[in-house]
Amino acid sequence: MTDPRTPGPNRPLTARLEHRLGQWARARLPGGLAEFIMFGLKMGWASLFGGLMLGAIIVSKSVWQADWPIARYDALLGFALVTQALFLIFRLETVEEAKVILLFHLTGTVMEWFKVSAGSWAYPEPALFKLFDVPLFSGFMYASVGSFIARVIRLFEMRFAPYPPFGLTLLLALSIYANFFTHHFIWDLRFLLIAGTVAVYGRTVISYRAGRRHRMNLVLAGALSSLFLWLAENIGTLTGTWVYAGTHTSAFASLSKMGSWYLLLYVAFITVTVVVRPRSDEPAAEGEKDRDTDDK
């Protein structure tokens, strides 16, 4: 009997290649090792947009010359636009995911304008496409986070249970987003908001497929993801692409930024759920989890 999850001839080429890669790994590697490798490959595939952007930042910093006719920030904007177009052309992202990415791109750019004007950080290099001292490529760094979340949910066929009321999650996201602005004028509520994420999502478990079904608490997944985002952010700081207030060029981002990324991840995740509501249904039977085959 044909596995209903096997990508058909009308599915994108990338989906069929992912499935064949999964078949190859399971046929040649022990079960646990195959699942571990598939998990890593899927995570890398989900973060492809962000990885390409970070790669472009590193390469451009190492080769760019001040007398070149195009500013580095403008070249990064062009690279981001072409990459986004190719993702849609080759169906690496769906139209729904692109809507999410655009929405998070816009909210991230607005926050960049405010934070730069407030002196939280700066972009020291010149650029033609720079608005309110913020190069327009920077919005794609936020978009890469939205892209990762949308793609990882789809690639791992994630389910969330129990999922809190949507209105409550939306209120949490709006409160977190507002605090990024208001803490410049009144109290910083980030620790209260971190406690709020635990209160709202503390019972939520992510069920994901990497060979077999596995489970992880959503709050733990958010904490681990914020660590990797903090490490990725330091690629930008160490290359001097952006500079935090009170630090010199190429300074390492402080550990306190990890808390900011943790909260921003919830804004990104809940933004994704505005367009693509999370699924909470589970496999019909426990035995089915062990018989699952991987699409990658």
Residue 296 has pLDDT above 50, yes or no: no
Q: Once rounded to an integer, what is the mean pLDDT over residues 108-132?
A: 94
Q: Classify residue 3: in a domain, yes or no.
A: no
Domain residues for 98? Answer: 13-291
Q: Please report the pLDDT score of residue 21 as a whole number.
A: 65
Is residue 4 domain-resident? no
Read off the pLDDT band of 181 (50, 70, 90).
very high
Q: Is 95 helix (H, G, I), strand (E, B) or coil?
A: helix
Q: Is residue 106 part of a domain?
A: yes
Residue 125 lies in a domain: yes
* Top-confidence residue, 203 or 244: 203
**How many domains would you assign to the chain?**
1
pLDDT at residue 1 in the model: 39
Q: 3-state class of 250 per DSSP?
A: coil
Q: Using the predicted structure, report yes or no on whether residue 201 has a pLDDT greater than 80.
A: yes
Tell whether 2 is covered by a domain.
Answer: no
Q: Is residue 282 part of a domain?
A: yes
pLDDT at 25 over 70: no
How are beta strands 243-244 and 121-122 bridged, if at all? antiparallel
Tell me the two tokens of residue 88. 């849609």
Give pLDDT, residue 217: 97
Buried b (16+ CB within 10 A) or exposed e, 24-57: ebbeeeeeeebbebbbebbbebbbbbbebbbebb
Average pLDDT over residues 47-62: 94
Whose tokens are 């035995």? That residue is 287
Q: Per-residue b/e over 232-244, b at no fewer than 16 CB within 10 Å?
A: bbebbbbbebbbb
Position 294 pLDDT exceeds 50: no
Instruction: Convert the pLDDT of each residue in 230-261 to its tens digit.
Output: 888 888 888 888 888 766 555 566 777 889 99
Contact present, 196 and 164 (Cβ < 8 Å): no
When pLDDT is averaged across residues 47-57 and rounded to a whole number, the result is 93
- What mean pLDDT is predicted for residues 115-141? 94
In a domain, 1, yes or no: no
Structure pTM? 0.84
165: which residues sit within 8 A by CB, 6+ positions away?
none
CB proximity list for 130: less than 8 A, separation 6 or greater: 73, 123, 136
Highest average pLDDT, of 4-8, 30-34, 198-202, comes from 198-202
Which whole number is the average pLDDT over 103-118?
93
For 80-98, how does the pLDDT look when each residue is reduced to its tens digit (9 = 90+)?
999 999 988 988 888 888 8
Task: Tell me if 296 is assigned to some domain.
Answer: no
Nearest CA among 252, 156, 247 for reference residue 207: 156
